[in-house]
C-alpha cells in the first residue's frame, strides 16, 4: 500500500525505513600483463610506435597516390593569389609549354567531351584554361547559355557576368577556322576576352560570323553529340587535363 499524503502537523502514517540490503564492495582486479611484457616494459611502447608509424605511412601513401594522379608535366601549373572562391589577384602564371600536346576531358551531366587544346596558337589562353581546370575552378559551374549553334559555360555567377577577376589578351588566329566543335573564349561586345567563360560551337556561326577575336583555343575530338544535348539545366562536373 502506498503512503497517503498528510496535512501539516499531522503525523505520518508510515516512516521510511533504511534499506536492510547490504551492497557488497566491487573488487576490480588488475589485468595481468604478459610475462614477456613485465620483463620487457618497452614492448608495449614499441607496439604503439609501430601502429602510429603504420597510420602515418598509410596517410603518406595516400598523399603520394593523389599527387601521382597529376601529370608531372602539370606540376608547374600553380595559380596566382586567390582573393575569393572563384577570383584571383591577376592572370595565372605560365606553367604550360607551347610545344606540349594537351587534352582536356570536360565531364558534364550529359557525358564527356574530349577537347584538343591549341597552345601553339593560343598559349596564354590554353595555359589559363589548364591552370583553372587543374585546380577545380570549373567543377559545378553551369552552362548558363545554350543556343542552337553554341553552348557557353565557365561563369561562377551563372549569368554571363562573372569571371576570375581578370581578362585575357587577344590571341587571334586564322587556322583552324570556326566551325562545329570549335572552342573559344567569350567576350562582352566592345570589351576584353573573359578570363574563364568559354563556349563550344554546335554548328555554323550565324552570319556575319565572328566580328571580334574570341581566342579559339581548342577543338572537340569526341563528344560533339554530347555538346548538342547540353542545356542551361546542365553543368560541368569536372575537367581533367592530360599531356600526350
Cell for 130?
589548364
Model pLDDT, residue 17: 37
Model pLDDT, residue 57: 45
Alpha-carbon span 158 to 161, nearest angstrom: 8
Cell for 59?
596517410
Closest CA to 87 of 168, 196, 164: 164
Model pLDDT, residue 171: 98
Cell for 210?
565572328
Q: Where are the domains of the chain?
A: 35-68, 76-243
Alpha-carbon span 164 to 92, nearest angstrom: 10
Q: What are phi and psi of 142, to 5 degrees?
A: -90, 165
Let me know: does 191 contact 169? Beta carbons within 8 Å.
no
Let me know: does 200 contact 183? Beta carbons within 8 Å.
yes
* Length of the chain as a residue count: 244
The CATH architecture of the domain made up of 76-243 is: Beta Barrel (2.40)
Query: Per-residue confidence of the chain (244 residues) as pLDDT tens digits?
Result: 443 333 333 333 333 333 344 445 544 445 455 665 566 665 556 666 554 545 344 443 333 433 334 578 899 899 999 999 999 999 999 999 999 999 999 999 999 999 999 999 999 999 999 999 999 999 999 999 999 999 999 999 999 999 999 999 999 998 999 999 999 999 988 899 999 999 999 999 999 999 999 999 999 999 999 999 999 999 999 999 999 9
Alpha-carbon span 93 to 106, nearest angstrom: 22
**Residue 183 β-bridge partners:** 200, 218
Amino acid at each position: 500500500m502506498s503512503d497517503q499524503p498528510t496535512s501539516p502537523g499531522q503525523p505520518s502514517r508510515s516512516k521510511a525505513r533504511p534499506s536492510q540490503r547490504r551492497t557488497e564492495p566491487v573488487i576490480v582486479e588488475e589485468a595481468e600483463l604478459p610475462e614477456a611484457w613485465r620483463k620487457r616494459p618497452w614492448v608495449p611502447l614499441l607496439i604503439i610506435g609501430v601502429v602510429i608509424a603504420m597510420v602515418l605511412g598509410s596517410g603518406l601513401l595516400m598523399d603520394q597516390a593523389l599527387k601521382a594522379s597529376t601529370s608531372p608535366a602539370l606540376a608547374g601549373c600553380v595559380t596566382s593569389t586567390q582573393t575569393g572562391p572563384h577570383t584571383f589577384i591577376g592572370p595565372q602564371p605560365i606553367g604550360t609549354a607551347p610545344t606540349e600536346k594537351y587534352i582536356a576531358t570536360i565531364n558534364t551531366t550529359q557525358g564527356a567531351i574530349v577537347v584538343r587544346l591549341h597552345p601553339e596558337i593560343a598559349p596564354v589562353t590554353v595555359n589559363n584554361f589548364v591552370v583553372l581546370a587543374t585546380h577545380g575552378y570549373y567543377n559545378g559551374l553551369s552552362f548558363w547559355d545554350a543556343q542552337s549553334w553554341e553552348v557557353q559555360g565557365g561563369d561562377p555567377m551563372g549569368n554571363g557576368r562573372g569571371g576570375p577577376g581578370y581578362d585575357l589578351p587577344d590571341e587571334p588566329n586564322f587556322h583552324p577556322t570556326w566551325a562545329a566543335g570549335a572552342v573559344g573564349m567569350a567576350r562582352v561586345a566592345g570589351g576584353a576576352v573573359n578570363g574563364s567563360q568559354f563556349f563550344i560551337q554546335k554548328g555554323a556561326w550565324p552570319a556575319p560570323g565572328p566580328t571580334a577575336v574570341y581566342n579559339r583555343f581548342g577543338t572537340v575530338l569526341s563528344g560533339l553529340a554530347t555538346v548538342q544535348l547540353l542545356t542551361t539545366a546542365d553543368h560541368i562536373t569536372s575537367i581533367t587535363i592530360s599531356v600526350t
